[in-house]
Copies of this chain bind each other. A is one copy, B any other.
Amino acid sequence: MTITLYDCATAPSPRRTRILLAEKQIEHEVIQIDLASKEQLGDHFRAINPRCTVPALRTEEGTVLAENTAIALYLERLKAQPPLFGGDSLDEALVIEWNARVESEGLHAVADVLRNSSPRMKDRALTGPLDIEQIPELAARGRKRLLHFFQVLDDRLHDREFLAVDSFSFADITAFVVVDFARWVKMKPSPEQTDLLRWFSAVNGRPSTNA
């Protein structure tokens, strides 16, 4: 069965999967889900992914995966090259570690700012089938956390080319998407965070990140 990506071309989370597929040059079909019209909450997509989120990836076996980390490991096993989890089991753990950290400290922070402040996101403060009211304090908290997160990245990248291991990895993909996503809430690294900016520019130059 051909792999199918349920995507939304403008959204940051499925962008992570798009970059994975482009890095590995894995053939797949794409079906766009229109988040602007709330297509993800409709019966059709809910039957595909009851969590009502993108990305969702239908695997060769016909199973739908809807978590980027699950999708990434599945694709890594499907096609080893180029490796996106480093070279050995400790590398793999470090990629998982940094990816989770970027999700928790970065992605959730940006999402909290956007989803708790944008009028378009009323009652959509979290993804998923539940309506969740906005909490303005969460937007402020997200900005505070995001400032800290940029400094965590800059410190980590001080003497490193890549975030988790000695080669480009899934953790770099997640971090790149998050730093770019932060522009949606008008936040970006400061000019003094030169290591973060150097890394961002390098990742931005990869063909896959414009996929």
Is the contact region of chain A dominated by helix, strand, or loop, or is it mixed?
A: helix
If A137-B135, A141-B132, A144-B130 touch, whether A65 touches B93 (CB-CB below 8 Å) is yes
If A92-B77, A130-B148 touch, whether A66 touches B137 (CB-CB below 8 Å) is no
Interface residues of A in 186-206 (CB under 8 A from B): none
Copies of this chain in the oligomer: 2
Residues of B within 8 A of A90 (CB): 59, 61, 63, 74
Out of B65, B93, B126, B148, name the residue touching A70 (CB < 8 Å): B93
Assess whether A166 is interfacial by the CB under 8 Å rule.
Answer: no
Q: Is there an interface contact between B77 and A96, defined as CB atoms closer than 8 Å?
A: no
Interface residues of A in 37-79 (CB under 8 A from B): 51, 59, 61, 63, 65-67, 69-71, 73-74, 77-78
User: Which bucket holds chain A's interface residue count?
Assistant: 35 or more
Residues of B within 8 A of A144 (CB): 130, 132
Q: Is there an interface contact between A73 and B61, defined as CB atoms closer than 8 Å?
A: no
Report which A residues bind B (CB closer than 8 A): 51, 59, 61, 63, 65-67, 69-71, 73-74, 77-78, 89-90, 92-94, 96-97, 100-101, 105, 126, 128, 130, 132-133, 135, 137-138, 141, 144-145, 148
